[in-house]
Each structure stands twice: as C-alpha cells, then as structure tokens.
Amino acid sequence: MNDANTRVLAFPDDASVGCLHGRTGPYPYEFHGRFKKEGGILEDTDNPGWDIIGAAKGEIAVSAEVTVLLEIQPEAGRDLSFLRRLAADDLDAIWLGNTFADDSQLVHLTHLSGLEWLDIQNNGAITDVGLARINDIANLVHLGMHWTRITDSTLEKMSDMERLQYLDIWGCEISETAVTQFKQGHPNCQVRTK
C-alpha cells in the first residue's frame, strides 16, 4: 500500500527479478545495465548518482521522493508478468536491455503510465509488433531501442510521444527519411542513430 511519503513495490517472493536502483533529482539521467545476458555482472559499469536499493524480490518500501529504476535480469525478461503487480506509478525507469524479452512480454509494461525512462537495447527478439504495445506510455522522456529489430513503422506510430527528449535507435533498420520525419514532429527530441 502506498501513502504520500512511501511506495511499496511488490515483486515475486520466491526469486529476484532484478535490482532496484534509486536516485534523487529530475531527468536527465543515464544508466548502463550491469547484467550480462550469459550470466554474471559487468564489474566496471559505473552509474553515477544511482544507489542500489536492493534485489527486486518481495515487498520493498521506497521513499516517494526517490526516482526508482528496475534493472531486469536477463532470464526474468522471458516472463514480465510480475510487472502487473505494480501500480501505474511505482516505477520511474526500467532497464530491459540485454534480456531475453520478446514482443509478447512488452504488453506487461502498458499499465505503467508513470514510466519516464525505458531502455530495451540489445534485444533482437523485439520488433515493431512489440513496440506498438508501449506507444501509449505517454510520459516517456527517454526510450533506448538500439540493436532491436524495429523499422520505420515504429517511428511512424510514435507521434503521440510528445514528451520524448531522447531516442536511441542506433543499429536499427530505420531509414533517414523516417528519422527526418520523426525529428520534424519532435523538434525537442535528441535522436541517436549511430
């Protein structure tokens, strides 16, 4: 149960699905995932300004003043249904990069309307079909999609994402024409293509 000063995040009790990180201060901020797809943790990954809150397991109380990022473990990406237990504004950011998530799993993010930051990079099983499921998350200011299998179709469907300030589509099969059209509709969005 959440109150004005605290939010309680509910994750599976039997196993951790990742790591929770917290910080104070508004966007912009950076984060680089630490989990390796083949297992283990990248030891040299530095995330200035982020503090580790703990494993995403069971119920975790977090100050309402803290920006909360969930870094999802690679194997947990295979079944993201645990996200359904969270309230719409429980998470501010999700790192889903380098996981085994596919298009079918992105439907579990659609109710997270408070989400401002999402990175799904290096997920070759994510295509235009999956990205169409998150187009309704209108509060996104950061969307990292590099090295996914998205195409021009995804950019064309993102016209309602008016708050977007950063879009990373490096390594995707997107034409320069689609990028130009997207930038015209989103003049305040920085687009990384390489």
Q: What is the pLDDT of residues 17-46, one digit of tens each?
A: 999 999 997 776 788 888 888 777 777 677
Query: Percent of the chain scored above 70 by pLDDT?
Result: 98
pLDDT in tens, 66-105: 999 999 999 999 999 999 999 999 999 999 999 999 999 9
Q: Does the residue 161 lie in any domain?
A: no
Edge-to-edge order in the sheet of strand 51-55? 51-55, 18-23, 67-72, 93-95, 117-119, 142-144, 166-168, 190-192
pLDDT band at 2 (very low <50, low <70, confident <90, very high): low
Q: Does the residue 137 lie in any domain?
A: yes
Q: Does the residue 182 lie in any domain?
A: no
Q: Does the residue 175 lie in any domain?
A: no
Residue type, 7: R
Q: What is the mean pLDDT of the chain?
A: 92
Question: What confidence score (pLDDT) does residue 193 get?
Answer: 94
Q: Does the residue 169 lie in any domain?
A: no
CATH number at residue 65: 3.80.10
pTM: 0.94
Q: Does the residue 83 lie in any domain?
A: yes
- The residues facing 41 across adjacent strands are 35
Q: Does the residue 174 lie in any domain?
A: no
pLDDT in tens, 103-132: 999 999 999 999 999 999 999 999 999 999
Structural domain that includes position 50:
6-150
Q: Does the residue 88 lie in any domain?
A: yes
Question: What confidence score (pLDDT) does residue 20 get?
Answer: 96
pLDDT at 187 over 90: yes
